[in-house]
Amino acid sequence: MSTVFQRGPVKPEMNMTPLIDVTFLLIVFFMLVSNIVSNERVPMVVPQLEDSKTRELGDIEKVVVSIAPASFSGDARLDAPLDHPGQARYVQLGAGQRFQLTQLPQLTEALRRETQKNPEVEVLLRGDAALYYGQVQPIMDAITAAGVGTVNLVALMPDD
């Protein structure tokens, strides 16, 4: 039984404002998260695995270290990555810290700060398939000098 007021009986109505507010907040959240994730990725062609002994990484504390190649011709490197110069352009730590190859002590210090925050942190090392090993070794030395316990090399899994 509805109560009668001077203006008449009470009519049930639904206020959509909170629902719209929540929807807009979710849209903004997902837009920001997608930008952060895309900034963490350096465009490169990672090596493909043929006979690998790999494991899926669960919820680990990780830091992504990407070694960007000197040339970003993208699609041309897909077919024959070894036909391109194997020089590194820069090293990117996480989503935004970039280091030139002459700044490896600063990279070591930044990684050391990460290990001080969390001693169990693992490094995911991404390198382009066109990079020479001589370009990757000094970066691996910088990671080791920072006291990182585990370094995972990122590669592209075959479809099968």
Indicate the pLDDT class of residue 98, thresholds 50, 70 and 90: confident
Interval 27-60: pLDDT, tens: 998 888 776 655 556 666 656 656 555 555 556 6
Specify if 4 maps to a domain: no
Indicate the pLDDT class of residue 23, thresholds 50, 70 and 90: very high
- Is 70 exceeded by the pLDDT of residue 12? yes
Instruction: Tell me which residue has tokens 């849209």.
Output: 27
The H or E element spanning position 110 is helix 104-117
- Is 80 exceeded by the pLDDT of residue 120? yes
User: In the prediction, which pLDDT does 25 show?
Assistant: 92
Instruction: Tell me which residue has tokens 């024959």.
Output: 80
Specify if 60 maps to a domain: yes
- Is 80 exceeded by the pLDDT of residue 10? no
Specify if 9 maps to a domain: no
Give the C-alpha separation, 141 to 108, whole Å: 9
Strands 122-127, 62-69: pairing is: parallel
Closest CA relative to residue 151, chosen from 128, 126, 132: 126
Indicate the pLDDT class of residue 82, thresholds 50, 70 and 90: low
Specify if 157 maps to a domain: yes
User: In the prediction, which pLDDT does 41 show?
Assistant: 60
- Is 70 exceeded by the pLDDT of residue 127? yes
In CATH, what number is assigned to the domain containing residue 149?
3.30.420.270
Specify if 58 maps to a domain: yes
Beta strands in the chain (DSSP E): 4-5, 8-9, 62-69, 88-93, 97-99, 122-127, 150-153
What percent of the chain lies above the pLDDT cut of 90? 5
- Is 60 exceeded by the pLDDT of residue 158? no
128: three-class secondary structure by DSSP: coil
- Mean pLDDT across the stretch 120-131? 81
Residue 141, number of CB atoms within 10 A of its CB: 12
Number of domains in the chain: 1
Specify if 49 maps to a domain: yes
CA angle 65/153/111 to nearest 5° reads: 35
The answer to whether 155 and 52 are in contact (CB under 8 A) is: yes
Specify if 2 maps to a domain: no
Q: How far apart are the first and last CA of the chain?
A: 65
Contacts of 89 (CB under 8 A, 6+ apart): 68, 69, 70
User: In the prediction, which pLDDT does 95 show?
Assistant: 75
User: In the prediction, which pLDDT does 155 show?
Assistant: 65
Give the structural domain span for 22: 14-160
Specify if 103 maps to a domain: yes
